[in-house]
Amino acid sequence: MGHSLGRMGLGRGRGRATACLGLVLSSTLLLSTACGGDDDPTAGLPAGAGGAPPTTEGGLLPCSEDRHVVAFDIIGFLTVENIEVLGRWGANTVNEPPTPRPGSVELVRAYRQRGYEILYVTTIPPQHFGAVSVSDTVQGWLQASGYPVDAGTHIWAWDGAERPDGQTWVGITDELLRLSSEGVSIDAGYTENVDKSMAYATGGVPEASNYTISPVEGIGDAAPTSAPTTVIPNDDLTAHTASVQQLPAVCQVS
C-alpha cells in the first residue's frame, strides 16, 4: 500500500500546462549513452531546456488541478548502496542508514519546486524494520537526508503480497495506473533496476523520461525483459539536475 506524506488531492485539469507537457520530459528526446548518444547532460530533457528560468506565468492551472508525477526508486537510485544496504539498515545488531547519492537530493527538489508531485517507491520487505513500518522508516530517512517530504510527496511501499511470478514491482505499475485514472500525468521515473524500469514503462512513463543509471543488466540491450529507457550520461545527476532546473513550472506553484 502507498504511504502518503501529505494530501494528494484529485485533479483533472489540463489547460496550458498540458500543452507544455509535450515539451516537458516526453518529446523530441534522444536516447543517450546506452544507444550511442553523446554525453550531453540535457539528453532526455526538452529541447531548449537550457533557456529561460522557470515561470508560473501564462495562465497555468493550480497544481491541485493539474497534477504531474515523477517517480524515484529509493534503494539503488536515491541511495549510493544497492540492495546490500538492507543487511545493515534496520538489522538487529546494527543500524547504518544508506548514503544519499550525490546530486539526488537536488534533483528531487528541482522537480518539486516546479510543481511536480514526487512518488518515492521501494520494495523493501514489510517486516524488515520490525515493528516500525517501512514507510515510516523511509520517510524519516528522506527527511533527515533533505529530500522533500511535503504534501506533494508520496511513498509507495510493497505490502508483502506475493505474486506467482515473484514480480513485486507490478504494484508500482498499479499505483501509476491508479494515479493516471485520477487524471494525473505520469511524467518521469528514475531507477537503476531493470524491474522497476519495466514497472515505470508499463505504468505509463515515456521512454525518453524513463531514466536509469548504469550499469544495469537488461537495460538498453535487446533482452526481452528490458524496458525502453534513457540513460543519464555518465550517471551525472548534478549535470542532469542543472538541466531540470531550467524547465518551466508545470502548474501554478503556490
Give a yes or no: residue 108 inside a domain.
yes
Instruction: Name the pTM for this structure.
Output: 0.76
DSSP 102-139: TTHHHHHHHHHHTT-EEEEEE---TTTTTTS-HHHHHH
Give a yes or no: residue 44 inside a domain.
no
Give a yes or no: residue 158 inside a domain.
yes
Q: What is the pLDDT of residues 222-254, one digit of tens each?
A: 333 467 899 999 999 999 999 999 999 999 987
**Cα-Cα-Cα-Cα dihedral sign, residues 191, 76, 179, 146:** negative
Give a yes or no: residue 40 inside a domain.
no
Which pLDDT score, from 0 to 100, does residue 29 have? 31
- Give bridge partners of residue 246 from the DSSP assignment: none
Q: What is the pLDDT of residues 86-102, one digit of tens each?
A: 888 986 667 899 999 99
Contact 103, 245 (CB under 8 A): no
Which pLDDT score, from 0 to 100, does residue 226 have? 62
Which pLDDT score, from 0 to 100, does residue 90 have? 83
Give a yes or no: residue 57 inside a domain.
no
- Give bridge partners of residue 119 from the DSSP assignment: 71, 154
Question: The domain that contains 71 carries what CATH number?
Answer: 3.40.50.1000
- Name the nearest CA neighbour of 87 among 128, 120, 141: 128
Q: How many domains does the chain have?
A: 1
Which pLDDT score, from 0 to 100, does residue 62 have? 96
Which pLDDT score, from 0 to 100, does residue 57 have? 52
Which pLDDT score, from 0 to 100, does residue 43 have? 47
Q: Which domain holds residue 228?
A: 2-34+63-244
Which pLDDT score, from 0 to 100, does residue 94 have? 74
* DSSP state letter for 198: H
Q: Where are the beta strands (DSSP E) in the chain?
A: 2-4, 68-73, 117-122, 153-157, 185-191, 210-212, 230-231
Give a yes or no: residue 249 inside a domain.
no
What are the residue ranges in the chain where pLDDT is below 50?
A: 1-56, 217-225
Q: What share of the chain is helix, strand, coil (3-state, %, to 5)?
A: 30, 15, 55
- Largest interatomic CA distance in the chain: 56
Contact 90, 47 (CB under 8 A): no
Give a yes or no: residue 58 inside a domain.
no
Which pLDDT score, from 0 to 100, does residue 92 have? 65
Give a yes or no: residue 55 inside a domain.
no
